[in-house]
Structure 1
Amino acid sequence: MSVIKWKRFIVAAVIALATLVGVAPHPAQADTTIDAKAAIAIDAQSGKILAANNASTPLPIASMSKLVSIYLVREAIKAGRLQWTDTATPDANLVKISRNKALSNVALSANTKYTVRTLYEASLIESANAAVMLLGNAVAGNQTKFVAMMNAKLKEWGITDAHIVNASGLVNKEIGPDKLAGTSDTDENQMSASDMAQVAQHLIADFPDVLTTTATRQLTFAKGTSDQAEMTSWNLLLKGQKDYEADLPVDGLKTGTGDKAGDCFVGTVNKAGMRVITVVMHANGKQSDRRFIQTAKLMKQVYADWHAITIPAGTRISGVKTAKLVRGTITRVPVATMAATRVVVPTAVTAQTVLGQWVQRHALSAPLARGTVAGAISLAADGEARGYVGANQAPRVAVQTTRRVKKGNLFVLIWRGVQEYFGDLF
C-alpha cells in the first residue's frame, strides 16, 4: 500500500471510530420545544437562526402586520415625504373602525387632525387599528396603494410567500369599504415566523429608536383633547407588567391576536452583548399570557445555548490557517484575520475553536510580502449549520499573510514539480 493510500485509510478509520463513539465537538442546537404552532429566535445583528420550529410555514399574523406598516411610515419620514408633525384626518370608515370596541383601538373623531407621531405611538403601544390605517393613507394616499407598498417592501427583502391584504392585520370583514379589491371578507394577512423575524430585524436595524416606543408601558393619547385616552402596552414582558422578569430586559416589539392567528408575539431582548428577536405564533396553553410564557422560555433557552464572541484581528482560524503559495521557499503561507469579527456560536465554543471556510481565494505567488491579502473566509462553529434568515449569511472576514516569503531557487522549484508529478500518479 502506498503512503498516500495508507494515510487515507487512517483518516477513514478515525472518522468511522468517531461516528461509532458519538464524538461531536459542538453539535447543532436542537429545534425549540416551545409550545406554539411556530416559533423562531434569531440574532438581531447577523440574522443567525438560534432556534426554530415550523418557522417557514405561513400562518395568520394579526396585528404583527403593523411592523411592516410602521417600517413604511419610518421610511417615508426618513425620505422627507412625511414629517412627525404632519397631520391626518380620518374618514367616516376609519372613525367607525376606531370606535368598534371589539377591536384594539383609540377612538378617533371626525373632522379632527392627528399628528403622525400620535398615530405612530397609538399603533405600536395600543395596537390601534384605525390609527395605523390612517398612517397608511398619509403615506400612500389610500389603503390600496399602501398595501401594494407593503407587498413590494416584503419582496424587496426576499419574502415571497407572504399574503398581505391590509395595513392593520384585521380580518377583511372588519375593515368595511377599505377592503382590497379582489380579496374576500375572510382574507387576512399571513406570513411565516421566519418572515416576521426578518421584518423585525429590518425595523430594528434601520430605525433602532422604534424600541423607545415599543418599550413604553403607558402613554396618554391625544392629551388635552376630547379624544384623550390612556394607552397601555399589550406586551406583558415589559418592566412593570405582569410577566416582567429582571433577567430578561424585553423592550419590544409587537403582539398579534386573532381567531385564526391565536396569541402571537414578536419579542426582542438585549442581553450579554446579543440582541435576540423571537417570534411565537399561536401559542398553546390555557393561560391568558401563554404567548409571553412561551417567549420568555424561548429567550432563556437561546441565552443558555448561544453567545456572541469577537474574534480578534490577527487570529489564525482553524481550518484556514494557511493559504496555498506557488514559486516560494514554502508551499503554504500562514494567514490571519485582518479585522475583529463578531460571531454567534454555541456557548461551549471559544474564539480558539471557531472554524473557517474559504469563500474567496487569491492566487499567491512568491516573492510575497507580509500582509498580502490572501482572500476571505466565513466563520462558524464546528458541526453547527443552523443557517440564517433571508439574505443574511455567516460572518466573513478578510485574511492576510503573516510572514514574508522569498522566491524558491530553481532547483527547489524543479524538485517540487517532480514530486508533485509523481505524487499524482499514486
Structure 2
Amino acid sequence: MVDASTGQVIYEQSPNMKLPVASVSKLLTIAVIHDELKQNVITANSKVQITPDVAAISNDPSYSSIGLQAGQSYTVRELVNAAMVKSADGATLALAMADGSNIEEFNLKLQQKAKDLGLKKCSIVNPVGLTNGDLKNLKLNQYSDKAENAMTAADAAILARYLVRSYPDILQVTAQKSACFYIAKNKTVKEENLNKMLPGDKYTVSGVQIDGLKTGTSDAAGACFVSTGLYRGHRIITVVLHANGNDKDARFTTTQQLYNMLKQTPLQEITLPKNLRQQWVANGNQRTTDIKPQKLMIWGSKPVRHYTLAVNYDHQKQNKRGRLLAPIRKNERVGEIELSSPDIRTINGEPLTYDLYSEEQVPRGNFWQRLWH
C-alpha cells in the first residue's frame, strides 16, 4: 500500500517476490499506448482493423472476451475502454498493433517502458498477460507455451503510481461501473467492470472513493488486484498478488483489509520552516510569495525526528538566482519539495515528494519594480 502522491510505502508484505500477474500486465500496455498518444503516433480516434487472429482470441469464451469482429474497425478510445473495463484480451492485442507493430515489436516497447520506470523484476511475454500458448496463432516461438508475464508487487505499485500521475484521464475509464461497446452492426454489448470495489459495489470501503484500477486472474497468478482511490485527500494505491484460496474475491477482501488498516493509521504533520513557506520572487510586483502546503503529511504513528528538506522549482518558473519568476497564477504548480528520512520507506527508494503551489497571484511588476527586485 502506497501513497501515490508522495511515494511513501504505508504497508508491505513480500513486495519483491516475482509472481505471474495475468491481466495486471495491461497497465503496462496502457502506459505505452499513452506514450504513443502523446507522441501523436496514434490518436484516440485512430481506427484499428481486427485481424482474424485477434478475433479468434476476442471470441473465445474461455478468455476475457468481448466479441470483436474480424475485418471490423474500432477506435483506440473504444479499445482502451474495453481493455480496462472488461479486461478484454482481444481489444488489448488490437491496441498493441494500433501503430502497425506486431506482438514481438510491441513487447520490446513494453520491456523498454518497464526499464524506464525502474521495474526491477519484470518479465514480458505479451501485452495481455495470457500464457504464450493462449495467444494461438499470435504466440511467439522464443517462449514456451506456459510462459507468462511476471513482476513484483513493488513493480506493480510503481507502474500504477506512474500511470495515475502521468495519465490521470485513465481513471475516468476505470471508474465506470459498466460500459456499452459497439461490436458490429446491430450488435452492442454492455459489460460490467470487473472491479467490485467501486462506489456502491459489494466490497466498497466506507470513507474511501475507489476509482480504479485493474484486476488479473490466471491459474499461475491466482487472483490479483491493483486498486487506487482517495482517502482523506490522498491518492492511495494497493497491490494484491496471488490472493490465497479458491475464491477470486479474496483479492477484494484483502484489499478491504488494507484500506481498513489505513483508516487506523495516523497522519503526522511536519510544518515547513518559514524560509521554505515563503519564497523570493523575481520580476514581480512584490518581492516574496507564500507557497503551499505549509505542512507535510506523513503516514505512521512513529514520530519522524530526523529528516532533510529540499525544494526543486520547475525549470521554467525559476531564474538563474533560484528565485520564482513572475507572473505567477494562484494555485499554480511551481515545483516540489523532497523530504528524506531514514525512518521512511518509499516505493522507489527516493525521497518523499510533495507538489508545491503558489498561495497567491503575483503579477509581473512594472519597470522600476523589476529593476528593484
TM range (shorter): 0.7 to 0.9
| Residues 164 and 188, structure 1, Cα contact 8 Å, conserved in 2 | yes
Aligned to 1:145: 105
* Moved >6 Å (runs of 4+): none
- Give the 3-state SS of the residue equivalent to 2:251 in structure 1: helix
Query: Among residues 296, 308, 324, which one is paired with 1:357 in the alignment?
Result: 308
Whether 1:394 aligns to 2:347 is no
Aligned to 1:320: none
| Residues 65 and 90, structure 2, Cα contact 8 Å, conserved in 1 | yes
d(CA) in 2 for partners of 1:183 and 1:84? 32
Deviation at 1:341, TM superposition (A): 6.2
Query: Among residues 42, 47, 71, which one is paired with 2:7 in the alignment?
Result: 47
Aligned to 2:360: none
Aligned to 2:330: none
| Residues 156 and 239, structure 2, Cα contact 8 Å, conserved in 1 | yes
d(CA) in 1 for partners of 2:76 and 2:354? 40
Aligned to 2:339: 379
| Residues 251 and 269, structure 1, Cα contact 8 Å, conserved in 2 | yes
1:270-307 residue CA offsets vs partner (Å, 9 max, x unmatched): 11121110000111245441110100111221232243
Aligned to 2:264: 304
Deviation at 1:127, TM superposition (A): 0.2
Deviation at 1:342, TM superposition (A): 6.1
Q: How does 1:76-155 map to 2 (within 5 A)?
A: 76-139=36-99, 141-155=101-115
Identity, % of aligned pairs? 29
| Residues 24 and 225, structure 2, Cα contact 8 Å, conserved in 1 | yes
1:326-362 residue CA offsets vs partner (Å, 9 max, x unmatched): xxxxxxxxxxx98746644245478xx65423789xx
| Structure 2 CA distance for partners of 1:179 and 1:308, relative to 1, 3 Å | farther
Q: How does 1:200-349 map to 2 (within 5 A)?
A: 200-222=160-182, 225-285=185-245, 287-307=247-267, 309=269, 311-312=271-272, 314=274, 340=293, 343-348=296-301
Q: Cα RMSD (Å) of the superposition?
A: 3.0
d(CA) in 1 for partners of 2:72 and 2:309? 61
Q: Which moved more, 1:66-75 or 1:222-231?
A: 222-231
Deviation at 1:47, TM superposition (A): 1.5
| Residues 343 and 380, structure 1, Cα contact 8 Å, conserved in 2 | no
| Structure 2 CA distance for partners of 1:359 and 1:115, relative to 1, 3 Å | closer
| Structure 2 CA distance for partners of 1:181 and 1:104, relative to 1, 3 Å | same
d(CA) in 1 for partners of 2:186 and 2:59? 14
| Structure 2 CA distance for partners of 1:378 and 1:86, relative to 1, 3 Å | closer
d(CA) in 1 for partners of 2:337 and 2:203? 43
| Residues 139 and 146, structure 1, Cα contact 8 Å, conserved in 2 | no
| Structure 2 CA distance for partners of 1:106 and 1:291, relative to 1, 3 Å | same
| Structure 2 CA distance for partners of 1:172 and 1:344, relative to 1, 3 Å | farther
d(CA) in 2 for partners of 1:138 and 1:168? 14
| Residues 67 and 183, structure 2, Cα contact 8 Å, conserved in 1 | no
d(CA) in 2 for partners of 1:210 and 1:377? 26
**In structure 2, what residue type is equivalent to 1:384?**
D
| Number of equivalent positions | 322
Aligned to 2:147: 187
**In structure 2, what residue type is equivalent to 1:117?**
R
| Structure 2 CA distance for partners of 1:286 and 1:341, relative to 1, 3 Å | farther
| Structure 2 CA distance for partners of 1:211 and 1:308, relative to 1, 3 Å | farther
Structure 2 length-normalised TM? 0.78
Aligned to 1:411: none
1:350-386 residue CA offsets vs partner (Å, 9 max, x unmatched): 8xx65423789xxxxxxxxxx99xxx996367x733x
| Residues 193 and 279, structure 1, Cα contact 8 Å, conserved in 2 | yes
| Structure 1: gaps (5+ residues) | 1-40, 318-336, 361-370, 399-426
Deviation at 1:223, TM superposition (A): 6.8
| Structure 2: gaps (5+ residues) | 278-289, 312-321, 324-335, 357-373
- Give the 3-state SS of the residue equivalent to 1:118 in structure 2: helix
Q: Which moved more, 1:140-149 or 1:203-212?
A: 140-149
Deviation at 1:392, TM superposition (A): 3.5
Structure 1 length-normalised TM? 0.69
| Residues 256 and 265, structure 1, Cα contact 8 Å, conserved in 2 | yes
Q: Indicate the structure (1 or 2) with the bigger Cα radius of gyration.
A: 1
